[in-house]
Structure 1
Amino acid sequence: MTLSSSLLNAFAPTGTLRASINLGNPILAHRISTGISTGTDSGEPGGVSVDIARELASRLGVPVAFTSFDRAAESVEAVTNENADIGFFAIDPLRGAGIAFTAPYVLIEGCYLVRDASPLTRNEDVDREGNRIMVGKGSAYDLFLTREIKHAQIVRTESSQAVVEAFVRDNLEVAAGVKQQLESDAARTSGLRLLDGRFMVIQQAMGLPKRRGDEAARHLREFVEDVKRSGFVADALARHGIKGASVAPAA
């Protein structure tokens, strides 16, 4: 399929598809270790979202470059301000002000973590006076809970990866985040448990700056539907050993 010059320019005005990658969601992206001890990990990003970005660049016939962020809010800002051409985000109305979203390509569970001794046993018990919920600042959970929580207090830490550590350190009542991240962190810290079920389903989608126009937004939506339908997303989840996330249904 031959793409118009206007469409290519909308996606890659610099000649390279610049992809914003959120490392704060370990289900979809991570940093590949270089194996070199330098004090910082300077490895390239890897994961499901990186695979999808490479596939889009291949279909557009342009190279791809990645900019990685530890927080979702920073990744959103990069795309909104057109410092990146595409990104991978949980769909949220607030983020939609400057970003044109596709339908979701992956669904992920958001869960609560408490101490073993906590009296909390159900998700419905969390939103009560006196409970403090630790979340990653600017994450999908932060945005969702900010709208939904009426009685409990939301406390924010710098990133999703730091939630459990901050929750334990500050002796809070609840931590909120990606189920797999909470499970992994809890496995390294005794005396913690997840509440049964989920408090939200995160709809992970692709997005590009709204200023890039309707043609580009439509093409990106069609691309996402194709990689879901073809099995590309399912294969990427399997290849990276991801459990607890599922391919979103067709739009």
Structure 2
Amino acid sequence: MTDLALLRRQFAPSGALRAALNHGNRVLVGRDDAGTAIGISVDLARALAAHLDLPLELVDYNRAVDVSNSATSDAWDVCFLAVDPDRAATIDFTEPYVAIEGCYLASAGCSATDAAELVASGAPVGTVTGSAYTLTLVRQPGAEALVHFPDIFAALEALDTGRVAAIAGIGTVMEAEAARRPGARTLAPPFMQIRQAMAIVKGRPEAAAELRRFIAERARSGAVGDILERHGVSRACAVLPVG
């Protein structure tokens, strides 16, 4: 077993575990009324710090690219990013712990039979301002047809009153809402999937191995699912480790 003192030095050479938060991903990170960071990433960072008996320092970034670009600047120790081979040049990823699909919920009056047909039709599609899926959709074909709403409740009201033909959202949430609306359905395929993982800067091999064990054990135990549900994401989105 790796010496705990060595792990603490590798995880926190500054003395505190510095966890980078990507505020561009509103599914995983947000702020409360006082402006304090909250969310799935924050809870996992706290769990890791407690596991290592280290003080925690949260380092805020507005975009994923700002997190990945600062990996070699000694600004943070661990982060929460979608797995990407280019990013793996400077950080070591765990296995993904959550896969979040973005899907369209079409109203009963929408004639589209799949996601591509919906986008091609130019029909108005509701989406929640600042959400992770909105940040993706505004860069894709069909962005001009998006209608932005402050929250999912306003988007659902627009769907129910016919102001939009469909809305974008997290797949499991959209499926549940479709079941409440006769004739409504989710459209295949999902328009996006984020396979989110924890990661640590390269050059800390024992800590990287421990981080992989940490997230795998919490995925198997259901602790990751508990965190997801606490922040409004279905535990069905949790990814269980292979083997």
Q: TM-score, normalised by structure 2?
A: 0.69
Q: Is the alpha carbon distance of 1:244 and 1:215 closer, same or farther for their aligned partners in structure 2, counting shifts above 3 Å? A: closer
Is 1:14 aligned with 2:5? no
Q: Is the alpha carbon distance of 1:184 and 1:84 closer, same or farther for their aligned partners in structure 2, counting shifts above 3 Å? A: farther
Distance 2:235 2:134 in 1: 21
Q: Is the alpha carbon distance of 1:3 and 1:54 closer, same or farther for their aligned partners in structure 2, counting shifts above 3 Å? A: farther
Identity %: 36
* Worse overlay, 68-77 or 87-96: 68-77
SS at match of 2:187: coil
Give the counterpart of 2:206 among 209, 215, 220. Answer: 215
Q: Is the alpha carbon distance of 1:219 and 1:21 closer, same or farther for their aligned partners in structure 2, counting shifts above 3 Å? A: same
Distance 1:31 1:61 in 2: 25
Distance 1:171 1:203 in 2: 23
Is 1:52 aligned with 2:44? yes
| 1:34-73 correspondence runs (5 A) | 34=34, 43-73=35-65
Contiguous gaps of at least 5 residues in structure 1? 35-42, 131-157, 176-180
SS at match of 1:82: coil
Q: Is the alpha carbon distance of 1:115 and 1:171 closer, same or farther for their aligned partners in structure 2, counting shifts above 3 Å? A: farther
Which residue in the other structure is 2:90 paired with? Answer: 98
Distance 2:220 2:105 in 1: 34
Which residue in the other structure is 1:74 paired with? Answer: 66
Match for 1:186: what amino acid?
A: A
Distance 2:70 2:107 in 1: 36
Which residue in the other structure is 1:240 paired with? Answer: 231
Give the counterpart of 1:228 among 219, 232, 236. Answer: 219
Distance 2:85 2:213 in 1: 21
SS at match of 1:199: strand
Match for 1:224: what amino acid?
A: I
Distance 2:103 2:54 in 1: 38
- 1:3 CA displacement: 3.5
Distance 2:131 2:27 in 1: 15
Distance 1:30 1:57 in 2: 20
Which residue in the other structure is 1:146 paired with? Answer: none
Does the aligned pair in 2 maintain the 1:108–1:245 contact within 8 Å? no
Does the aligned pair in 1 maintain the 2:27–2:131 contact within 8 Å? no
